[in-house]
């Protein structure tokens, strides 16, 4: 049974038997729209909960504890986290200059991907 057929069967079980196909379709559309609105609201709320990272403050804190790994921030996208790791390692972000002075890595967490970094000193 296809997913569509399963959905139609489920609707037939929960809806009154006197509805025609158009009425089933209308109910399905309303349920889908309500669910979509709920998911979008959750996504908006989650994006507002994320704190912006002050890389200047993070880099300064890491310099006070050379060799110790510290959290940089959490990213919902692993691609964003990998990009930040690259920016830290290459000192594309000015706070982490000179290039090679910081190491960075990622860690998967429930909220997405966490970036950690450590100060190792200026490259010789």
Tens digits of residue pLDDT in 26-37:
777 787 788 888
Task: Give 59-96 as a DSSP string.
Answer: HHHHHTSTT--EEEEEESSHHHHHHHHHHHHTT-SGGG
In this structure, what token pair is assigned to residue 59?
A: 């880099």
pTM of the predicted model as reported, rounded to 2 decimal places: 0.60
Q: For residue 72, how many other CB atoms are within 10 A of its CB?
A: 25
Tens digits of residue pLDDT in 12-68:
677 666 666 677 677 777 877 888 888 878 777 766 566 789 999 999 999 999 999
How many residues appear in the chain? Answer: 124
- Domain limits of the chain? 3-49, 55-119
Does residue 98 have a cis bond before it (omega within 30 degrees)? yes
Per-residue confidence at 70, pLDDT binned at 50, 70, 90?
Answer: very high
Confidence at residue 49, expressed as pLDDT on a 0 to 100 scale: 61
């Amino acid at each position: 049974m296809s997913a569509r057929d399963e959905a139609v069967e489920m609707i037939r079980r929960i809806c009154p038997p006197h509805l025609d196909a158009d009425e089933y379709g209308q109910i399905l559309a309303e349920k889908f729209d309500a669910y979509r609105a709920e998911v979008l609201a959750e996504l908006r709320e989650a994006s507002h909960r994320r704190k912006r990272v002050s890389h200047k403050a993070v880099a300064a804190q890491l310099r006070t504890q050379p060799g110790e790994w510290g959290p940089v921030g959490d990213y919902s996208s692993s691609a964003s986290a990998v990009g930040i790791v690259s920016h830290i390692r290459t000192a594309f972000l000015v706070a982490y200059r000179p290039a090679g002075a910081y190491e960075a890595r990622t860690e998967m967490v429930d909220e997405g991907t966490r970036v950690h970094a450590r100060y190792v000193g200026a490259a010789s």
